[in-house]
Structure 1
Amino acid sequence: MTIGEKAILKCRADYAYGDSPPGSGVIKPGDTLLFDVELLGFHEKAKEKWEMSAAELMEEAMKIKEEGTALFKEKRFFEATERYVAAADNASAVPEKTDPGGEEEAAAVALELSCFLNAAQACLNGKEWGDAIAHATSALGKDPDNVKALYRRGVARRHTGMVDESKSDLMAAYKLDPNNKAVRKELQLLKASAMEQGYSLSRSLRTIHAAMKESKEKAKSVFGGLFGKVSMYDDKEGVVVFDGTNPKCFFDVTVGDKEPQRISFELYANTCPKTSANFLHLCKGDKGTTPDGVPLHYKGSKFHRVIKNFMLQVGKGRGVTQTCFDLRSPRHVTSVCGDFTAGDGTGGCSIYGEKFKDENFQLKHTEPGLLSMANAGPNTNGSQVFITCRDTPHLDGKHVVFGKVLSGMEVVKEIENVATTADKPNDDVVIVDCGELVEEEAPADEAPAYDEAMKAETPETEN
């Protein structure tokens, strides 16, 4: 056919509806269907990556990257990110089609790096902090000393409350480029943000302060005495320091009339920063209230659904009918609460709004005691969570694992074994208290010496 040509397309019953046509009555069982068609245009089918040469892959990658940049300029950051990631994917296939160590391979790696950097920036602009961390980390996989990647990951980590990790990235960037004004400014923001969140930086920032003090004269010659004026890293005495890599928190739980018992958790903020921050702040109760005035706090909420060695029914969020995850084979989960808006499994709200997107599925449901998000389908995370009682691989790719029970599995087992009616515990299982576990600061004479690698001058920004 040529463009503009018309024809009749014949479709036999066995390729159409067969003996089960739609209920309108127009099409009868066994009918052959005839369609009037007109060719409006055509194009060649795009080659698969395995069919392309190295040159074709590079050309396609650069084309897709340009599409991403056009979307970025239109402030369509989500779509721009998708284009940049697709371009990086094309570029990643080039090395296997070229000579190792050659110019083509180097150009492909440089293009892939550029795409990941752009994707990280697009996510920062779109305030998708978890994705920004992931793409910046991919960039660092190509160039571990890339200042832009360190800076962008540091910014994203600050926004998710990962104080120590953010500081580590920004100090590494500063060591590589001590004249970078943006990194310096971001370190300033990091301290302010950390203090707002109630984090204790006295040890962490003493590390920075010691490095700054040692290099102050050199920095002064570069920055014209700016450090003396700004006093970025002055620490207040006596603040409590959170010194762990990942945050830790707890539930104090009563079963019926029994005394409270504690379950403590480690949150995998290094892998799922956004999801971990949501849970942490809901434990702390420091993010205000829902639009209906209910405190964003797990305290007082109930373990609303428990099935021994079996399954979790999440309930529904406000205005959203949630699917009952009736995965009755294999048996897998004991219910944990998270419904503070209704208290019966029908509520829940995140610190980001009613729902937020699945951050990633990097961690798997491989063992008992894992903390995972309950949901009503893709990208419907709120406040409800569950703890696994065994490995549950069929939940992988559907629920975000973001933490693990550190202590108190005996409490989890006790909850699992409570008597229930229609999966609801007969005796109330209530979180009577919850919060963050902050490690105590070591005495001053036991404080570890700061990393020698940080004895450089400090950070710079993004161009």
Structure 2
Amino acid sequence: MWIQGFSFWIKGFSLLALISVISALEPELGSTRVVFQTKYGDIEFGFYPTVAPKTVDHIYKLVRLGGYNTNHFFRVDKGFVAQVADVTNGRSAPMNEEQRREAVKTVVGEFTEVKHVRGILSMGRYDDPDSASSSFSILLGDAPHLDGKYAIFGKVTKGDETLTKLEQLPTRKEGIFVMPMERITILSSYYYDTETENCEEDRSILKRRLAASAIEVERQRMKCFPDKAI
């Protein structure tokens, strides 16, 4: 009986250790969130600033400049990737000078041990490992053959149901690409900080508590010192 209990304890400990190792291998998301809005729903994602800092800075700047607005998903390969077109050629709206300057920049290849699994954001590039610009893919399934070859810089945090809708759209084959029959436009985009959002909520709660406290103090004053001001 003791041996069976000890064996169960060892198995449980091994499982916990394995979970801890897996958790340790998963990069930590920063507090920034970006939302792409499409007619099929929103896709929200976060960044891995410690994994690919240069890539994150570049993509986030393009988002802040509104670079991805009116861009589109030119590729939707079910179970593989949904790929956003490069900003320079993918937008339907003209770019201003600041957007254009940022869009043509390339980023050094920041290749890591992070795995390509569903929801991961991975930069597109040409043969040159340092040719990534503004096109990136959202993984729709596991793709181990991409590991270590394309820069991973974030992952989807909300909107997997939107990705599923995109996967169900009619497609056509053009060379190596599986492309949607219709244009899937990024209607607009916005960004926010989860830490700021939490602080706003905390501040709101604190304000309500302070207001309630002030009312209670005034009630007690009127009761005990009706003719005196504190």
How does the TM-score come out when normalised to structure 2?
0.63
Tell me the secondary structure at the aligned position of residue 386 of structure 1. Answer: strand
Q: Give the CA RMSD over aligned residues.
A: 2.6
Rounded to whole Å, the distance in 1 between the matches of 2:100 and 2:110 is 16
Residue in 2 aligned with 1:427? 182
- 1:342 alignment partner, SS class: helix
Q: Which of 337, 345, 349 pairs up with 2:84?
A: 337
Partner of 1:307: 77
2: CA distance, partners of 1:393 / 1:373:
15
8 A Cα contact 2:30 2:46, kept in partner = no
Q: Specify whether residues 388 and 335 from structure 1 end up closer, same or farther in structure 2 by C-alpha distance, changes over 3 A only.
A: same
Structure 2 distance, partners of 1:384, 1:352, is 10
Give the conservation status (yes or no) of the 8 Å contact 2:78–2:167. yes
Taking a change above 3 Å as real, the CA distance of residues 276 and 395 of structure 1, as seen in their structure-2 partners, is: same
**What whole-Å deviation, never above 9, does each CA across 1:62-118 have from its counterpart, x for those lacking one?**
xxxxxxxxxxxxxxxxxxxxxxxxxxxxxxxxxxxxxxxxxxxxxxxxxxxxxxxxx
Q: Deviations over 1:14-61 (max 9, x none)?
A: xxxxxxxxxxxxxxxxxxxxxxxxxxxxxxxxxxxxxxxxxxxxxxxx
The amino acid of 1:387's aligned partner reads: I
Amino acid at match of 2:75: R
Contact kept? 1:374, 1:385, Cα under 8 Å: yes
**Aligned pair partner of 1:375 in 125, 137, 142:** 125
Name which one, 1 or 2, has greater alpha-carbon Rg: 1
1:408 aligns with 2:165: no
* 1:137-286 alignment runs, 5 A limit: 245-255=30-40, 261-285=41-65
Determine helix, strand or coil for the equivalent of 2:74. coil
Question: 1:157-208, CA deviations, whole angstroms, 9 ceiling, x for partnerless residues?
Answer: xxxxxxxxxxxxxxxxxxxxxxxxxxxxxxxxxxxxxxxxxxxxxxxxxxxx
Tell which has more relative contact order, 1 or 2 (C-alpha 8 A, sep 6+). Answer: 2
Task: Give me the whole-angstrom Cα distance separating, in 2, the residues matched to 1:271 and 1:446.
Answer: 36
* Structure 1: runs of 5 or more not aligned: 1-243, 256-260, 287-296, 310-332, 448-463
Q: Give SS of 2:76's match.
A: coil
Q: Separation in 2 of the partners of 1:350 and 1:416?
A: 33
Higher share of residues assigned strand: 2
4+ residue runs of structure 1 moved beyond 3 angstroms? 444-447
2:203 is matched with which residue: 429, 438, 443? 443
* Count of residue pairs the alignment pairs up: 162
Alignment partners' CA distance in 1, 2:167 and 2:186: 15
In the aligned structure 1, how far is the partner of 2:141 from the partner of 2:156? 13
Instruction: Describe the SS at the equivalent of 2:77.
Output: coil
Q: Letter of the 1:274 partner, please give it.
A: K
**TM-score, scaled to structure 1:** 0.33
Partner residue in 2 for 1:74:
none
Q: What is the alpha-carbon distance in structure 2 between the residues aligned to residue 360 and residue 373 of structure 1? A: 10
Change (3 A) 1:355 1:303: same
Task: Give the aligned partner of residue 142 of structure 1.
Answer: none
Structure 1 residues 424, 353: CA separation in 2 closer, same or farther (over 3 Å shift)?
Answer: closer
| Residue-by-residue CA offset, 1:219-245 (whole Å, 9 max, x unaligned) | xxxxxxxxxxxxxxxxxxxxxxxxx94
In structure 1, how many angstroms separate the alpha carbons of the residues matched to 2:100 and 2:133? Answer: 5
List aligned pairs for 1:328-367, cutoff 5 A: 333-343=80-90, 351=102, 353-365=104-116, 367=117
8 Å contact from structure 1 (residues 306, 335) kept in 2: yes
